[in-house]
Amino acid sequence: MSNNTIGVGFSNLADSFSAGKEAAQSAIGKHSGASKVLIVFGAMRFDHRELLAGISSVAKDIPMVGGTTAGEISSAGFSTGSVVVMSLSNEELEFVTGVGHNMSSDEAGCSRSMANDILSKAAFDPDASLLVFPNGMGGDGLKVLEGLQSVLGKEFEITGGYLGDDERFENTFQYYNGIVYKDSIAGLMVIKKKGYRTGIGVRSGFSSIGNSFTCTSSEGNVVKEFEHTNALDLYKDFLGEERAERLPAVCLEYPFGIIDNNPSNSGQNIFQLRCGLSVDHEKGTISLAASIPEGSEVTLTTASRGDIINGAREAC
Residue type, 1: M
CA distance 100 to 187: 8
Give the pLDDT confidence of 29-85 residue by residue, as tens digits.
Answer: 887 678 999 999 999 999 999 999 999 999 999 999 999 999 999 998 999 999 999
- In 3D space, the residue among 127, 124, 102 whose CA is nearest the CA of residue 115 turns out to be 124
* pTM score: 0.89
Mean pLDDT score of the chain, rounded to an integer? 93
Looking at residue 1, what is its pLDDT?
42
CA distance 134 to 129: 16
CA distance 281 to 218: 16
Residue type, 244: A
- In 3D space, the residue among 305, 299, 250 whose CA is nearest the CA of residue 270 turns out to be 299
Mean predicted confidence (pLDDT) in 4-15:
92
63 upstream amide cis, omega within 30 of 0: no
Give the pLDDT confidence of 262-285 residue by residue, as tens digits.
Answer: 655 555 667 899 999 999 999 999
Backbone phi, then psi, for 305, in 5-degree steps? -55, -45
- pLDDT category at 2 given cuts 50, 70, 90 is low
The three-class DSSP label of residue 81 is coil
Looking at residue 105, what is its pLDDT?
96
CA distance 135 to 146: 16
Give the pLDDT confidence of 146-168 residue by residue, as tens digits.
Answer: 999 999 999 999 999 999 999 88
Percent of the chain clearing pLDDT 70 (strictly above):
96
The C-alpha torsion from 315 through 103 and 35 to 126, rounded to 10°, is 60
Residue 100 CB neighbours (<10 A): 30
CA distance 103 to 109: 8
